[in-house]
Amino acid sequence: MPITRAETTINGKPLVFETGKLAEQAGGAVTVQYGDTIVFAAASVSPSLRPGIDFFPLTVDFEERLYAAGKIPGSFPRREGRPSEEAILTARLADRTIRPLFPKGFRNDTQIILYALSADQEHDPDVLAVNAASAALAISPAPFDGPIGCVRVGTVNGKLTLNPTIPQMETSEMDLVVAGTRDAVMMIEAGANEVPEERMLEAIELARTGIAATIDAQEDLVRRVGKPKMQWIPEKVDAAKGERISAYLAERVRAKVRHADKAQREAGLDEVRTEAISTLATPEGDVTEADVSMTFDDVVKKEVRRAILEEGIRPDGRGLKDIRALDIQVGVLPRTHGSAIFKRGQTQILSITTLGPTADEQIIDTLAPVASKRYMHHYNFPPFSVGEVRPLRGAGRREIGHGALAERALLPAIPPKEEFPYTIRVVSETFSSNGSTSMASTCGSTLSLMTPVSRSRP
């Protein structure tokens, strides 16, 4: 298979897309190179729909191969194992950006596997991974409404700059990652230290110029080697049956969709769904259980939207300008260095701060040039917090992602090591969840971090 290259320039450096050298049996396979950092992406899509599911089965995995930076893994078997926190965050970065660009109702298994093949310690592979995932999907048969571009914006000597190097980012006033199509921004992830809104808007506009250039290169690749997009038929309810089911559900859903208590609201809606299935989806009838379930979800969404837009009422009874009740308690655990409970409506987080010596710093065994970190934020989301029953399997991607959000938000407020020579670990335990646990985690953790200053230190 001939090698095909497409190239653009970002911040005076070539950004090169290449296909045809590796993984010829994948649906789409691309490498993206910037400096001496190279990320590989392979996109594969199942030709058939997975029956019996009501979600899009997309998986994105980013694998750090430590040979990319000339390192041997520090674990006993001397090989890569479970993905690091940084690898999971990179996979989530790509997932969040590309997932909305698949058509509604697409239920074919889709997988994107990303490898960092070379890491020059100057150019972060995370942004390249998003671009590589997009390019691999764009040339594959998957019905992906891309491509998208992704860039990082930082400041170098006070000037907004696209894709600064890792050393330059150490003194940058912001760390802004923006991804999107030519016409719309799809995803923003940012860390900053009190940057004015006007400055942030200027950075986003600069990012869009880099996104456009990246998309130009991918579209060139698609024109030359893109595969025909697969044909698929979305599952949908016949219009006549849908109207009949909707007429049965409309008033029943409206009576149950408003309740201040999330558990009771969901229990009421589950009763309506079960009743509709038993009444309408009879063995001798033409209406199936899937017809009722799909229509039910659509009716609930339309009723929630209608109530908000026409009546100004949200499902829990609040108006558009009402906030949930807030409750804060500090120093709730007697033997910890710091603790606080933050409650917002039915969302409740207990955050605990622990201070340790500098020897407790976390050793980083990844492609990043950073060797350790002294502030760690861990977030836990047990099943009971949403009234569910499922096995505990350790921290998942959601927990790692939410912990990283809170860590990034609080990091600028952590005193430097010279002023406060301690390792800091904050754990946020989710005891109840009804929206915005990451925000509650950040607020509760702020309070728990404040209490050790006025209490004992290790």
- Per-residue pLDDT tens digits for 207-259: 999 999 999 999 999 999 999 999 888 878 888 888 889 999 999 999 888 88
Four-point Cα dihedral 116, 193, 356, 331, nearest 10:
-130
Please state the φ and ψ torsions of residue 345, each to the nearest 5 degrees: 60, -125
The pLDDT assigned to 456 comes to 42
- Tokens standing for 139? 């040339």
pLDDT digits (tens, 9 = 90+) for 318-376: 899 998 888 999 999 999 999 999 999 889 999 999 999 999 998 887 887 777 889 99
d(CA 238, CA 38): 48
Contact 235, 107 (CB under 8 A): yes
Sign of the dihedral defined by the CA atoms of residues 394, 400, 406, 411, in that order: positive
For 394, the 3-state DSSP assignment is coil
Which of these, 154, 210, 151, lies nearest to 9 by C-alpha position? 210
Which of these, 450, 424, 419, 427, lies nearest to 358 by C-alpha position? 424
d(CA 284, CA 287): 9
pLDDT digits (tens, 9 = 90+) for 12-22: 999 999 999 99
pTM for this prediction = 0.88
The pLDDT assigned to 140 comes to 97
The pLDDT assigned to 457 comes to 42
d(CA 458, CA 333): 16
What mean pLDDT do residues 446-454 have?
Answer: 68
Peptide bond into 458 cis (omega under 30): no
d(CA 416, CA 389): 42
Please state the φ and ψ torsions of residue 146, each to the nearest 5 degrees: -115, -155
pLDDT digits (tens, 9 = 90+) for 103-137: 988 999 999 999 999 999 999 999 999 999 999 99
* Model confidence band, residue 166 (pLDDT cutoffs 50, 70, 90): very high
The pLDDT assigned to 7 comes to 95
**Distance of alpha carbon 383 from the chain centroid:** 20
Report CA Rg, the chain: 25
d(CA 13, CA 188): 23
The pLDDT assigned to 452 comes to 59
* Model confidence band, residue 288 (pLDDT cutoffs 50, 70, 90): confident
The pLDDT assigned to 56 comes to 92
DSSP states along 225-287: HPPPPPP-------HHHHHHHHHHHHHHHHHHS--SSHHHHHHHHHHHHHHHHHHH--TTSS-
Which residues are registered as beta bridge partners of 190?
176
- Alpha helices in 50-150, H assignment, sequence order: 85-98, 125-139
N residues, the chain = 458
